[in-house]
Amino acid sequence: MWDLASGKLLRSITDAHPPGTAILHIKFTDDPTLAICNDSGGSVFELTFKRVMGVRTCESRCLFSGSKGEVCCIEPLHSKPELKDHPITQFSLLAMASLTKILVIGLKPSLKVWMTFPYGRMDPSSVPLLAWHFVAVHNYVNPMLAFCRGDVVHFLLVKRDESGAIHVTKQKHLHLYYDLINFTWINSRTVVLLDSVEKLHVIDRQTQEELETVEISEVQLVYNSSHFKSLATGGNVSQALALVGEKACYQSISSYGGQIFYLGTKSVYVMILRSWRERVDHLLKQDCLTEALALAWSFHEGKAKAVVGLSGDASKRKAVVADRMVEILFHYADRALKKCPDQGKIQVMEQHFQKQPEAHARYSCPRIDMVPIIVDYCLLLQRKDLLFSQMYDKLSENSVAKGVFLECLEPYILSDKLVGITPQVMKDLIVHFQDKKLMENVEALIVHMDITSLDIQQVVLMCWENHLYDAMIYVYNRGMNEFISPMEKLFRVIAHPLSAGKPLTDEQVIMGNKLLVYISCCLAGRAYPLGDIPEDLVPLVKNQVFEFLIRLHSAEASSEEEIYPYVRTLLHFDTREFLNVLALTFEDFKNDKQAVEYQQRIVDILLKVMVENSDFTPSQVGCLFTFLARQLAKPDNTLFVNRTLFDQVLEFLCSPDDDSRHSERQQVLLELLQAGGIVQFEESRLIRMAEKAEFYQICEFMYEREHQYDKIIDCYLRDPLREEDVFNYIHNILSIPGHSAEEKQSVWHKAMDHIEELVSLKPCKAAELVAMHFSGQIETVIKKLQNQVLLFKFLRSLLDPREGIHVNQESLQISPCITEQFIELLCQFNPNQVIETLQVLECYRLEETIQITQKYQLHEVTAYLLEKKGDIHGAFLIMLQRLQSKLQEITRQGENTKEDPSLKDIEDTMVETIALCQRNSHNLNQQQREALWFPLLEAMMAPQKLSSSSAPHLHSEALKSLTMQVLNSMATFIALPSILQRILQDPVYGKGKLGEIQGLILGMLDTFNYEQTLLETTTNLLNQDLHWSLCNLRASVTRGLNPKQDYCSICLQQYKRRQEMDDEIIVFSCGHLYHSFCLQNKECTIEIEGQTRWTCYKCSSSNKVGKLSENSSEIKKGRITPSQVKMSPSSHQSKGDPAAKKATSEPVLDPQQVQAFDQLCRLYRGSSRLALLTELSQNRSSENYRPFSGSQSGPAFNSIFQNENFQLQLIPPPVTED
């Protein structure tokens, strides 16, 4: 023990710990007379220093014995001078970390254990780490202990309650992707971690964000492995502690006052966090001004991490940072002006101020907006005085920079973030945009500006010259409280073309819309284009606007001007929108007596202008009366309108003399009725006039009010625009609840009366309607359909599922006679579709259907039905007769004419006949197959017999090709010798005419040779594949096992240390190694047929379900990893065991062979090799054996070669690593 001040040796302690162990740690507590030491035996001792009569002594007390677990890390709690009075310091807390758990004990006033925390399963080579620090949580400062081992850091908060007891609570974990060898607190929010590859990680504790990573391999850190292995005392330490010592560097790293000291082999290194000023200055040195400003702003807002050097309250910190940011902004502006090019294109100079390049590669600074950033941060710092005085004056030295600055103000003004601009800047801004012809931008800016900063006369003149009407209205309203003058000016622009009947230009239409919106805003008390009118001016503005609208003449009226020019102009411009404006206004005039008088007055003017004038269209007149009907229908209505005016409107809209605008007039009247105008009319007269004018929607509206739903069907059917909607209407009436049975019955009767019209309109819809609602009355519907074509369309839609009818066919109770009636109609109107339709139909009788097809001589259909009936021979004879007749016909044509008749019909018939034979040959014996195929062959060869070799038939080559197709098809079902014998037995060929069929015979022989070669090649490939698979299987079974580690995966003890015990070592093919005793304790043994089988604990623990009986089935399936087991004699069965004799009498695969075979099967999924070899090994000389033929019954018929999914994998087998 040394005195560092004088360098004097105070005492030498020889009995502090047991001899033969190395000291791992020795640390003082806050009490200078108390220290803690930890030795390589895992024990912890308390050292108490005393001085009695001038003699220095030391007493040692064991706090923790290494026999209960080896402690390899200790950390006493140290408090700062300002926290000496903290209530928890009196306990003198000590944290200890063993290889299995964490302990927190109190040394004072008496020894006491306050917490024990077990690790759980950890990597045995990872280093336990402990670190204390005082942190503020919920406004209370308490010590927090951080401990970790591996890649997870745990934080424990230690608090003392009122009773004096200590409580430890867990905080949020920190999960990492690397193993730690050191943990150090920099401050209460920032920690520095060192991983196993010597990389420093700076972490923010609260957000768990990684702030920086530094490589420190150049430090050449000193490790404490020699102490943990106790090399100086003979190395008598445990293997576990020696394994931890490989990465231990406890004594090489220390921290104090925000600094971390690292001991290297050549020097000592100090790591500190830069202060906030240093961090900002570092970015400035790298010429990354934008990043420097962004970092400074994060300091200003308190969002930065690992902040050092900012103290005081929040306002003081913000003021310090703000001053520094202002300095950076001025530096930023000076730098931009200094580096501006002296000459060149304006675009280049503008780009310089808008896109300022940053130059340091380390920060990869992109090109950023320079002047906008200055504006941004001036506004964020609320320094508009700086922005519009010093900064503006500085940037105004360069005209381009000044222009860029003014343009940057636009988005802030439009978003109302920038108000109170100085008049000089405002004037320069407007002049700049005006010079650049950006008048739309000027208008948008003016309506967001403070009117006091504008020259009103200059702005109004500019607005009129450039048609900036929004800005003009804004200046009049806000600057002069004048609301009528803008209206007068806008009316002058649109009134003349409207009164003259000329179309409006796009600009005039925009002006008219602005005028409507402006009037609406004024009447609603809102300012245009944004904001609100002052409350004291709202009544005055409303009265002024109404007085303006109802003026009899304009101020500068000519003698030809009609009365009420303003109302008339707005009605001509957009009647509907103008009335909507009035309707919205009337909603707010309920309790205002003067407003009610205005309301009645303006309604009278509307009626006088529109009813007494023929310039308005029916739609415009209808809009007016719809507006009036809505107003009159209100419960608190105070308007009066003469009822005879509604009758005049009805006469006007229903006038049969005017056929133009029919749909428009009907829609207008419908809107009028729906708005409440129905009370203004006599209903019977209205219906008569609507029927006369063919207003069927009006009739529907009236009939629905009277619940006469059957008459509405007539309305739909008479209306050509809506006739197809009748089906949905009938369906809704019949299905939606709320209608009485009588109403539904009347609708159905009306639908039945018009069933022919409905079917002719949409057969599918009509059939769906009948099937859904009246499936039991289908026969009645059929009787009503007298037209056979309509009946055919109806039945096809009803019965044919391909027509898309959305009804369950099984729910329809349809008799077979109806289906057969449909089939007969199908034979008449669409015979080509009969077979396809029969394939999807279900409910019909075969005998009756066959008679129908025979009646209409549809031979293919008859053959199909006979085949379905089971009369294969009858179906074949019909098809054969058709083929023979077509062959005879082509023979006669070839003899009598020189035309070239098409062989398409013959080929199609032959293909259908072959398909018939192929479909049914599988279920016939050999004799029955020959009865099908040989007549077909003879029929195809008959024309060739009639032609001589000297005078061949015109189509002889084509017929030979078709005959060859028949031969190839029948070779699948008829043996080749039988075919040759049948041909040679023919009298014609038996007399020396074999030359005519030489081509057919040679073709058959070529086919045979091809199939034989294919069979031999396939057999050779399969034999090679099987040989390779068996070689790999043998190699995998006999391969040795290589363990991954030299210690047991359960007890973590090296297997060599257990050799003195009568124990066995078990190695699995997965590489894990165990003691048999450990596996037995984990219940990883299974008895199968009297023998012990082992399962890997690690590999099977995640899949365990707690039932060992299931594991026996798993090992049979090859899912449990087998092992090489050194069996003890007691594990073998006795020789007299009959079960053992039975087991040894049959070859049984051991678990390794089961696993290898299962792996082989998974590697080669597909057709079974055993099935292929079994089929190929059959006796080839057998008469019935044809591997590529489907003619055999029984097992041969189920050949794998007949499977459509069978594929030969003709590729080399994959190579696996030994």
Residue pLDDT, tens place only, 709-734: 888 888 888 888 888 888 888 888 88
pLDDT(183) > 90: yes
DSSP characters over 539-600: HHHHHHHHHHHT-SS-TT--TTPPSSHHHHHHHHH-HHHHHHHHHHHHHT-SS-HHHHHHHH
- Helix, strand or coil for residue 924? coil
Rama region for 98: left / alpha / beta (φ>0; ψ in -120 to 50; rest): beta
Question: What would the mean pLDDT of 102-129 be, rounded to a whole number?
Answer: 87
| Distant-in-sequence contacts of 253-258, Cβ < 8 A, 24+ apart | 253/182, 253/184, 253/194, 253/221, 255/184, 255/185, 255/186, 258/186, 258/187, 258/308
Mean pLDDT of the chain: 78
Task: For residue 677, give both structure tokens.
Answer: 């105008």
Question: What would the mean pLDDT of 756-779 be, rounded to a whole number?
Answer: 83
- Decide if 724 contacts 715 (C-beta within 8 A): no
DSSP characters over 668-709: HHHHHHHTTGGGGS-HHHHHHHHHHTT-HHHHHHHHHHTT-H
Q: In this structure, how many other beta carbons lie within 10 angstroms of the beta carbon of residue 112? A: 12
pTM score, two decimals? Answer: 0.48
pLDDT(1159) > 70: no
pLDDT(836) > 60: yes
Q: What is the pLDDT of residue 1208?
A: 54
More confident: 1105 or 849: 849
CA 750 to chain centre: 52
pLDDT(548) > 50: yes
Query: Confidence band (pLDDT; 50, 70, 90) for 1020?
Result: very high
More confident: 10 or 370: 10
Question: What would the mean pLDDT of 156-163 be, rounded to a whole number?
Answer: 87
Q: What is the pLDDT of residue 1171?
A: 55
DSSP designation for 387: I
Look-up of token digits 């009447």: 523
How far is the C-alpha of 204 from the C-alpha of 190, rounded, in Å? 5
Question: What would the mean pLDDT of 1025-1054 be, rounded to a whole number?
Answer: 84
Task: Please name the residues in contact with 724: beta carbons below 8 A apart, sequence gap of 6 or more.
Answer: 761, 762, 765
pLDDT(146) > 90: yes
Q: What is the pLDDT of residue 607?
A: 79
pLDDT(991) > 80: no
Question: What would the mean pLDDT of 804-827 be, rounded to a whole number?
Answer: 76
pLDDT(378) > 60: yes
pLDDT(1180) > 50: no
How far is the C-alpha of 471 from the C-alpha of 529, rounded, in Å? 9
Q: Using alpha carbons, list the distances in angstroms from residue 1002 to 287, 701, 975, 998.
A: 91, 84, 16, 6
pLDDT(850) > 60: yes
905: exposed, middle or buried (Cβ count in 10 Å: 0-12, 13-18, 19+): middle
How far is the C-alpha of 289 from the C-alpha of 282, rounded, in Å? 10
More confident: 331 or 1183: 331
Query: Confidence band (pLDDT; 50, 70, 90) for 1172?
Result: low
Task: For residue 223, give both structure tokens.
Answer: 């490790």
Q: What is the pLDDT of residue 1165?
A: 55
More confident: 1130 or 952: 952
Q: What is the pLDDT of residue 1163?
A: 59
Question: What would the mean pLDDT of 73-100 be, rounded to a whole number?
Answer: 88
Strand pairing class (180-185; 209-215): unpaired
Q: What is the pLDDT of residue 1140?
A: 36
pLDDT(150) > 50: yes
Q: What is the pLDDT of residue 1130?
A: 34
Q: In this structure, how many other beta carbons lie within 10 angstroms of the beta carbon of residue 1191? A: 19
pLDDT(1107) > 50: no
- Decide if 367 contacts 357 (C-beta within 8 A): yes
Buried b (16+ CB within 10 A) or exposed e, 118-129: ebeeeeeebbbb
Look-up of token digits 């010590």: 143
Q: What is the pLDDT of residue 1162?
A: 61
- Decide if 76 contacts 53 (C-beta within 8 A): no
pLDDT(94) > 90: yes
More confident: 573 or 1144: 573
